[in-house]
Amino acid sequence: MVNFQCKPHYDYEDLLRIMELLRAPGGCPWDREQSHKSLRRNFLEESCEAVEAIDRGDKAALCEELGDVLLQVVFHAQLEKEQGGFTMDDVADGICKKLIYRHPHVFGTVEVKDTAEELDRWEVLKRKEKGQQSAADAVDAVAKTLPALWRAEKIQSKAAKAGFDWPDGAGILDKLDEEVGELRQAAEDSARSLDAPHGVKEEIGDVLFIAAKIAQRSGVDPEEALHASCDKFAQRFRFVEEHASAGLDSLSSEEKLVLWAQAKQVKS
């Protein structure tokens, strides 16, 4: 047993102490075995569960999931503390300094007239803080671990802020048509030969990338849009399956299309 006094209500300092005890000799074998790498997926999963609670508007779940996310932060900080790296205080110190630096209109004498100007200043300060000398540096700095559509949207946004953009939306739609045409050709080539000159994988990537550009230009979250389409498909697929006269694999294409058309008429 460790030396710890249980009580009715715990605070942030208690969390740090509990994490320290779990990692200490005599603590939890599983916790003692973990590393930054082994905890990587946990961090992602807990963050996604917190986002799902936000989407559901479930405040009780959000409170719980934020605790799980905070545990991940504290866990990583404890690992570094044990290795003589940084501590949780260093983490807090770093984010406090960053917030103060990036809000000179709050903590300094700078004045901004609206949110747009504030965001522009934020981007300039962020690039200066990270030592980014060019727009290309800013593009390269976009995290490769982001969901691909978010990464594409963010890259497009940074390029647009540097002046690399279409003059109007029509040009982007024309580019989408061009990329879809190249995907069609790649798919046809692939069906004829395993050594097709243009890979389907590459062309699919190009179509998704330009679709993310349209989303960025339109102010639409591409991940959110795709999730909505997934939900819509799942709902319609369920209708088709439940109203089919037999197994889907035994229905003709015409019968499936009729059911799909009916499913599209059902309001969610």
Model confidence pLDDT, tens digit, residues 243-263:
999 999 999 999 999 999 999
Contacts of 127 (CB under 8 A, 6+ apart): 137, 138
Mean model confidence pLDDT for the chain: 91
Q: What is the mean pLDDT of residues 43-70?
A: 95
CA distance 125 to 138: 12
Q: What gap in Å lies between CA 184 and CA 174, rounded to an integer?
A: 15
Please report how the helices 59-82 and 36-56 are oriented relative to each other, as an axis angle in degrees rounded to 10: 160
Picking from 5-14, 54-63, 141-150, 189-198, which range would have the lowest pLDDT averaged per residue?
A: 189-198
**How many C-beta neighbours within 10 Å does residue 120 have?**
12
- Non-local (6+) Cβ contacts of 88 within 8 A are 16, 73, 74, 77, 78, 81
What pLDDT, in 10s, does the model give residues 99-153? 998 888 888 888 887 887 777 777 788 888 888 888 899 899 899 988 999 999 9
**Where do the structural domains in the chain lie, given as residue ranges?**
12-101, 144-220, 222-268
Predicted pLDDT at 2: 77
Average pLDDT of 4-28? Answer: 93
Q: Return the pLDDT at 4.
A: 83
Which pLDDT score is estimated for 194?
A: 63
- CA neighbours within 13 Å on the CB side: how many for 82? 18
Residue 70, pLDDT > 70, answer yes
6: left (phi over 0), alpha (psi -120 to 50) or beta: beta
Helix (H) or strand (E) holding 71: helix 59-82
Count Cα atoms within 13 angstroms, Cβ side, for 133.
Answer: 0
**What is the C-alpha separation between 146 and 44, in angstroms, rounded?**
10
Q: Do domains 12-101 and 144-220 have the same CATH topology?
A: yes
With 60 as the cut, is the pLDDT of residue 196 above it?
no
Q: What is the DSSP letter of 83?
A: T
Enter the tokens of residue 240: 């088709």
Structural contact between residues 86 and 74, judged by C-beta atoms closer than 8 angstroms: no
> What pLDDT is stored for residue 126 in this prediction?
80
Say if residue 238's pLDDT is above 90: yes
Q: For the whole model, what pTM was predicted?
A: 0.70
Average pLDDT over residues 205-221: 95
The stretch 21-31 carries a mean pLDDT of 94
Alpha-carbon gap, residue 157 to 163, rounded angstroms: 10
pLDDT score recorded for residue 118: 78
Tokens read off for 129: 């803080």
Write the class of the CATH domain 12-101.
mainly alpha
Per-residue model confidence (pLDDT) at position 203: 93
Local confidence band at 268 (pLDDT 50, 70, 90 cut-offs): low
pLDDT score at 1: 72
Q: Which homologous superfamily is 144-220 in?
A: MazG-like (1.10.287.1080)
% of the chain exceeding 70 in pLDDT: 97
Average pLDDT over residues 178-183: 95
How far apart are the C-alpha atoms of 56 and 224, rounded to whole Å? 14
Is it the case that residue 197 has pLDDT exceeding 60? no
